[in-house]
Amino acid sequence: MSDAALLASKIRLIMQLRRNGVSDTNVLSAIESVPRDRFVEPEFADKSYEDIALPIACEQTISQPTIVALMTQALDVTDRHMVLEIGSGSGYQTAILAKLSRRVHSIERLPDLSALATERLEQLKLRNVTFHVGDGTQGWPHAAPFDRIMVTAAAFADAPDALLMQLADDGIMVIPIDQGNGQQTLFRITKEGSTFVKTPLGEVRFVPLIED
Ligand code: SAH
């Protein structure tokens, strides 16, 4: 695919995201500035600006751009925020968060994916990110609390306690939760004093969050 064709497909994608309810201009600019074609396997590069999920290494998937954009918008990130991400995957969502926040800690359980994501973000010169290999359901206590927590794999029944504990006051978490009936619902959880307020945002489809 030529550079001109890639650019045209990128512009079409941005228009599609707007139609799908993405109105936050910071989120749209972040999507525009991160080359998704570098995060997919080479054979899918010409599909990288279509609004579809695509396979990545280790049988995982890079989420559909509309989902990435809507989740990022729901997270309401600013450049003052410390962000924790669970499920680095390709590193695409990590790169978007890096553009919008002060610092990102991203945890991935599969070392090969984490290594590839690290390499990609280095190439893009996004230096405010630290990748960790491990079980993200435990969070990253060394750098807690986090203003924002983004989980990109589906938790079972509820958000992991360790992640709730590591959310700062007035913090926001966005997390898909498997309701046990084969359905996954995306939730926005805000910490208000000692209570957590959970708002459903819609049905989604993610790979499971695996507890190691
Ligand atoms: N946001 C990614 C896609 C994530 S796919 C992107 O933009 O490409 C979900 C990822 O979560 C997978 O890579 C999977 O290996 C990882 N994962 C699943 N359970 C996990 C856990 N307990 N801790 C950390 N990562 C986990």
* pLDDT tens column, 73-126: 999 999 999 999 999 999 999 999 999 999 999 999 999 999 999 999 999 999
C-beta of residue 88 within 8 angstroms of C-beta of residue 107: yes
Beta strands in 26-161 (DSSP E): 54-55, 61-62, 82-86, 103-108, 129-133, 146-151, 155-156
Residue (of 66, 75, 68, 72) closest to 90 by Cα position: 68
pLDDT at res. 162: 98
Name the percent of the chain in helix, strand, coil, to the closest 5. Answer: 40, 30, 35
pLDDT at res. 182: 82
Note if 9 is an active site residue.
no
**How far apart are the two ends of the chain, measured CA to CA in Å?**
40
Location of structure tokens 């995060």: 39
pLDDT at res. 201: 97
Look at ligand 1, atom 26, and give the residue with the nearest C-alpha. 87
How many CA atoms within 13 Å lie on the side-chain side of 108? 23
pLDDT at res. 128: 98
Look at ligand 1, atom 11, and give the residue with the nearest C-alpha. 87
Residue 60 Cβ contacting ligand 1 at under 6 Å: yes
Cα of 201 to ligand 1 centre, how many Å?
A: 20
Among the listed residues 2, 9, 63, 114, the single catalytic one is 63
Residue 107 Cβ contacting ligand 1 at under 6 Å: yes
pLDDT at res. 208: 95
pLDDT at res. 40: 94
pLDDT at res. 181: 86
Spans of the chain below 50 pLDDT: none
Fold of 3-204: Rossmann fold (3.40.50)
CA distance 42 to 56: 10
Residue 64 Cβ contacting ligand 1 at under 6 Å: no
C-alpha distances in Å from residue 194, one per residue of 140, 190, 191, 198: 20, 10, 7, 13
CA distance 14 to 28: 7
In DSSP terms, 188 is beta-bridged to 174, 199
Residue 96 Cβ contacting ligand 1 at under 6 Å: no
Residue 21 burial (10 A CB sphere; 0-12, 13-18, 19+): exposed
